[in-house]
Amino acid sequence: MKKFLKNKYFIGGVVILVIIIIYFVNKGGSSSTIETSVAVIGNVTEKVSVTGKISAIDKADLAFEKSGTVTSINVKVGDEVNRGDRIASLDNADTIASLASAQAKLADMTRALRPEELQAEQALVDSAQVALNNARTSALNASRNSYVQAQGAVVNYADLFFTNPQSANPSIKVPVQSSILQTAINQSRSSVSSALTRWSNDVSGATSTDGVDQLLIRSGNYLTTIKSFMDSLASIINYMNPGNSGIQQSIIDTYVSDMNMALSGLNQAISSVTNASTALQQAQSGYSEANSNFILKNAGASAEAVRAQQATIDSLSATVSKGQIFSPIDGLITKVSPQIGEFVSAGQNVFAVMTSGIFKIEAFVPEADIAKVAVGNKASVTLDAYGSGVVFGATVSAIDPAETVIEGVSTYKVTLMFDKKDARIRSGMTANTDILTHESDNVLTIPTRAIIDATSTTSIVGAKAVRLLNFDGKTYKSVPVVIGLKGSDGVSEIVSGITMGQKVVTYVK
């Protein structure tokens, strides 16, 4: 025996055997482990936890409404400003000079004109009238001459390529690429005849310069019809070669030369009408301006004239204002990017201002939780900058009606206002927010993990039950319950099914 006791392998084997015997003894005598909790009266709170960003209640990125060189900057970052304070200005020298001129003109309008001044103004009107009469006469002559040039281009050149060109059924006599194109060019030539006839009647019936502006418009329309025809015909001629037409190259060259002559004459006609129209418009504008100035000055500064000039001054003043930036809110300057003398573009954000000390939280609540949140809900907020031990109060102030999709998930922006000003709060901080959405006080509560699904045993979809511990402390039975508010802290309200003090099973091993 002593020999075995000295053998280490024997001793080791005995130890292992003892461990195995103890394991099986314990296993055979073990029973299920049941963890329970007592139904008690307590409070149940439902919260929605989200992370958001802090920003000022009001903030504005500021830009000039026109481009220019910065001539003055009245603030620096961190300065407090009031609404309406001027922040910066551009070089407005030209506009300011125009404004001064307009103001001087208004002052001049309020005094009576001397006879020599009225005579000088009348001379300007008379001169403008002469210029207008000359422009009308030139416009009438331009329409007549353009008609002659356009008709010559068609009859003397284009018609060489047609049989019966001026009849109701003209027919092109040179080879054409297709029957469709042939029909189109024949119809176009017929339209030209109609246009030339109407144009001839117009210029023949124009016995005075009255209505010459309308004559120019109609002349332009006739030229458009003729130009379209001539361009189409030129395309046909330019497409020709001895291979596709059977015509010698020398003859084709003559055709091309004729078309170039026709187009040249037509372009001269178009230019003549265009120039006459421009000159007439300028003369009409000059006369209207001269006559308006005469009436304005001769009217002795009527209320209407004064209002008109005042409107000009207001417009120039507005332009001057576009070269200045004013603070739209009371707050702090947070951005000053340009330097004096620097050129900035219109719309370029160069200054920024935000409200001082009043901040909001903007957070995005997932679709699954948004129905729980309502305006007026209270919230507790912690900031990463100060840790979880420092809590700030806030209240939900707005919920966006439209979704914001973030990484493929629909969310809704919720805005919360801090309940108090606090110097520790700063724009851009991360806010960990617990929104208290519902609360039930002094109700029967149990751990949420004690609630089990009872759909299979009751055949009622969504039915719930708890496992109520029997008096023997070892067995339990399933009891249906009606659930109230489900808390965010793992506790749920029991509306009916059990009473205070009863033990419910939370875990069975």
Instruction: Check whether 23 has a pLDDT greater than 50.
Output: no
What average pLDDT does this structure show over 15-34?
Answer: 55
Taking the C-alpha atoms of residue 115 and residue 119, their distance in angstroms, rounded to an integer, is 6
pLDDT at residue 299 in the model: 64
Tell me, what's the pLDDT at 229?
A: 94
What pLDDT sits at residue 460?
Answer: 86
* Lowest-confidence pick of 213-217, 300-304, 308-312, 500-504: 300-304
What string of DSSP letters covers 108-130?
HHTSPPPHHHHHHHHHHHHHHHH
From CA 148, how far away is CA 53, in angstroms rounded? Answer: 78
Confidence at 24, pLDDT banded by 50, 70, 90:
very low
1/401: higher pLDDT: 401
pLDDT digits (tens, 9 = 90+) for 436-470: 988 889 999 999 988 988 887 777 888 889 999 88
Q: What percent of the chain has pLDDT over 70?
A: 91
This prediction has a pTM of 0.43
Q: Which residue has the higher pLDDT, 95 or 400?
A: 400
Interstrand relation of 409-418 and 430-447 (parallel, antiparallel or unpaired): unpaired
Q: How high is the mean pLDDT of the chain?
A: 86
| Res. 324: pLDDT tops 70 | yes
pLDDT of 95 strictly over 90: no
Q: Say how far apart CA 74 and CA 340 lie, in whole Å.
A: 10
How much is the pLDDT for 28? 42
Interstrand relation of 343-344 and 68-73 (parallel, antiparallel or unpaired):
antiparallel
pLDDT of residue 223: 94
Rounded to an integer, the average pLDDT of 310-335 is 86
- Please tell me the predicted confidence (pLDDT) of residue 302: 65
According to the model, what pLDDT value does residue 305 have?
72
pLDDT band at residue 3 using 50, 70 and 90 as cut-offs = low
Q: Is pLDDT of 237 > 50?
A: yes
259 in Cβ contact with 221 (< 8 Å): no
State mean pLDDT over 208-218: 88
Considering the chain, what percentage of its residues have pLDDT values greater than 90? 41
Q: What is the DSSP string of 473-484?
A: SS-EEEEEEEEE
**Mean pLDDT lowest for which of 14-28, 139-153, 447-461?**
14-28
Domain boundaries, the chain: 47-55+358-508, 62-90+325-354, 99-111+303-320, 115-298
Q: Which CATH code of 2.40.30.170, 2.60.410.10, 3.30.750.24, 1.10.3720.10 fits the domain covering 47-55+358-508?
A: 2.40.30.170
End-to-end CA distance of the chain: 45
Own/partner pairs for 383-391, CB < 8 Å, 24+ apart? 383/54, 383/424, 383/425, 383/429, 383/430, 383/431, 383/432, 384/429, 384/430, 384/432, 385/424, 385/426, 385/429, 385/430, 386/424, 388/432, 390/424
Asked if residue 25 has pLDDT above 50, the reply is no
* CATH ID of 62-90+325-354, from 2.40.340.10, 2.40.50.100, 3.40.50.300, 3.90.1150.10: 2.40.50.100
- Work out the average pLDDT over 195-205: 91
pLDDT at 145: 92
State phi, psi for 300 to the nearest 5 degrees.
Answer: 70, 40
